[in-house]
Each structure stands twice: as structure tokens, then as C-alpha cells.
């Protein structure tokens, strides 16, 4: 079965971000401000506090589960920051086939392609749970990144880290089996790497959505999910919420 890959960012965007990052680092080295840079480790960035300084052009919006935030092809005129909840990004082909390209959690930005000159949305954003978002208009976000070098450095680092994850997704899609791809997606959704060894993913995620993310059929996902459950890697509680055990990592590491 031929799989389609839907990259969200082109090479021109990445080159622009890298050039901007270089300029920011040079400015930071001259002024030597006390900020967390791309090569330093520190506490998580408090984006809520950083975005609070925007005097206007920012709106806090609440979305219920399954509500559309924006559609593919809508004007790209704002950046969104996810304060609470989860959001999925999807793309739809001209033939009507839909694919999920990402599921985002609290603390992530999306819709930022507008900052690189993207006139229209290349994907749709849909709330998968009740969400709280900060919508920052493009001119205000661009002005803040231009005037506040410390914030710009942190934002570019955030984007580059996400781009690395997309590259890993592409390699996974091209070279790994559907079983390994499903295992990796489940671990990512469960935020594998935290101190907790077991974490609930989503009470509402279904096998059809997982199939769209993996790039395979629902029947194959069902087969592997039953296998993972028998091995104790995943489980469902009484309400249908899916939990993942870190032992699922063995599926990815297996030759």
C-alpha cells in the first residue's frame, strides 16, 4: 500500500528560521542577556508569561471537543498557542482522503506558517478535547519576535525542535513497519520520557484516527492493538481511555 507523507514546512521556511536564529544568537552574544538558548538546558519555558506582555492583538478562545479552529485553505493570519487540551492537524487531498499529521498538546504553537509568508492554511486544526487557546495576530507576533530577542531565540528553538520531530516522522514513515510506526505514535501521544511509566493518551482517540496517523488500514491497527494489549503494553479503562506502558518501546527496538 503506497503511503503519502504530508510535510508541513518547506525547505525555504527552515532556511529562513536558521538564518534568523543565527542573527539572534549573534545579537545575544553581544548583549549577553541571561536567557535560555538552544544549546542550554533549563526549566520549561513559561510561554503564558512571555505572551502576557502582548498589549493587543491577542485573544483567549475556548473550543469544545470536535470543533474546527480553522480549515485547510483559510487565510493564514494568526498564530495559535495551545494553553490547555489537545488539537489535531489534518490535511485532505483533492480526492477527499484525509490524513492526521500531528496531535498537539499544551504548550505548543501551531498556525505559525503565516510568519514565513504562508498565505493560506495548509492543514486544518480541530480540537480533540475541550481546549483553551491564545490567538495572536500575525503583525503582533512578528513585532514581538523582532523586538524581543530573548523571546525570538526561544521561539526559533521551539520550531527547530519540532522540525526535528517531523524529520523523525518522515524516516519512520519511510523505513519502519506499520507495527513499529503505531508503537512510536502511541509512545509519542503518551509523552514517553516523563517520569511516569504509564500515561493516559486520549479518552476519545479511535483506531480510525490511529490508522490515519500510521498510514495503514483500520484492520491492521486493530490487529496490532489487540497484540499490544495481550502483551500488557496498552490497556483501556472502564471509560474507554487508552493507557500506554513504556514496555511498548521494545517493539520499536526489536530488529
Burial class (CB in 10 A: 0-12, 13-18, 19+), 132: middle
Task: Evaluate whether the domain defined by 11-172 bears CATH number 3.30.1490.20.
Answer: no
According to the model, what pLDDT value does residue 142 have? 93
- The mean pLDDT of 119-143, rounded to a whole number, is 95
Burial class (CB in 10 A: 0-12, 13-18, 19+), 175: exposed
According to the model, what pLDDT value does residue 168 have? 86
The most confident of 24-28, 50-54, 154-158, by mean pLDDT = 154-158
pLDDT greater at residue 71 or residue 207? 71
pTM: 0.68
Domain boundaries, the chain: 11-172, 177-253
Does the pLDDT of residue 11 top 60, yes or no? no
According to the model, what pLDDT value does residue 245 have? 85
At 22, is the pLDDT very low, low, confident or very high (cuts 50, 70, 90)? low
The most confident of 31-40, 140-149, 195-204, 206-215, by mean pLDDT = 140-149
Q: Rounded to an integer, what distance in angstroms lies between the CA atom of residue 30 and that of residue 242?
A: 50
- pLDDT tens column, 60-102: 999 999 999 999 999 999 999 999 999 999 999 888 888 888 8
Task: Please count the residues of the chain.
Answer: 255
CATH of 177-253, one of 1.10.1040.10, 3.40.50.300, 1.10.10.10, 3.30.70.20: 1.10.10.10
Does the pLDDT of residue 51 top 90, yes or no? no
211 neighbors 220 (Cβ within 8 angstroms): yes
Distances (CA, A) of 160 to 14, 177, 204: 8, 27, 30
Distances (CA, A) of 231 to 179, 223, 246: 14, 13, 12
- pLDDT tens column, 92-130: 988 888 888 888 989 999 999 999 999 999 999 999 989
At 39, is the pLDDT very low, low, confident or very high (cuts 50, 70, 90)? very low
Nearest Cα neighbor of 188 from 112, 98, 101, 68 is: 101
Burial class (CB in 10 A: 0-12, 13-18, 19+), 107: middle
Amino acid at each position: 500500500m503506497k503511503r503519502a507523507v504530508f510535510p508541513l514546512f518547506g525547505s525555504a521556511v527552515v532556511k529562513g528560521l536558521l538564518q534568523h536564529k543565527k542573527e539572534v544568537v549573534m545579537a545575544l552574544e553581544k548583549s549577553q542577556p541571561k536567557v535560555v538558548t538552544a544549546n542550554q538546558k533549563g526549566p520549561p519555558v513559561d510561554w503564558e508569561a512571555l505572551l502576557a506582555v502582548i498589549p493587543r492583538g491577542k485573544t483567549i478562545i475556548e473550543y469544545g471537543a470536535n470543533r474546527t479552529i480553522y480549515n485547510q485553505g483559510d487565510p493564514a493570519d494568526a498564530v495559535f498557542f495551545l494553553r490547555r487540551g489537545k488539537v489535531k492537524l489534518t490535511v485532505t487531498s483533492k480526492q477527499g482522503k484525509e490524513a492526521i499529521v500531528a496531535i498537539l498538546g499544551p504548550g505548543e504553537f501551531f498556525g505559525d506558517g503565516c510568519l514565513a509568508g504562508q498565505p493560506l492554511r495548509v492543514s486544518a486544526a480541530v480540537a480533540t478535547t475541550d481546549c483553551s487557546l491564545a490567538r495572536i495576530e500575525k503583525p503582533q507576533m512578528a513585532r514581538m519576535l523582532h523586538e524581543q530577542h530573548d523571546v525570538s531565540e526561544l521561539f526559533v528553538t521551539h520550531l527547530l525542535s519540532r522540525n526535528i520531530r517531523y524529520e523523525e516522522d518522515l524516516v519512520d514513515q519511510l523505513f519502519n513497519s506499520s507495527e513499529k510506526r503505531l508503537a512510536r505514535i502511541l509512545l509519542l501521544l503518551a509523552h514517553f520520557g516523563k517520569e511516569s511509566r504509564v500515561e493516559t493518551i486520549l479518552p476519545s482517540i479511535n483506531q480510525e484516527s490511529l490508522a490515519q496517523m500510521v498510514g495503514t488500514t483500520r484492520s491492521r491497527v486493530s490487529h496490532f492493538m489487540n497484540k499490544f494489549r495481550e502483551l500488557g503494553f496498552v490497556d483501556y479503562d472502564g471509560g474507554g481511555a487508552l493507557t500506554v506502558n513504556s514496555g511498548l518501546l521494545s517493539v520499536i527496538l526489536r530488529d
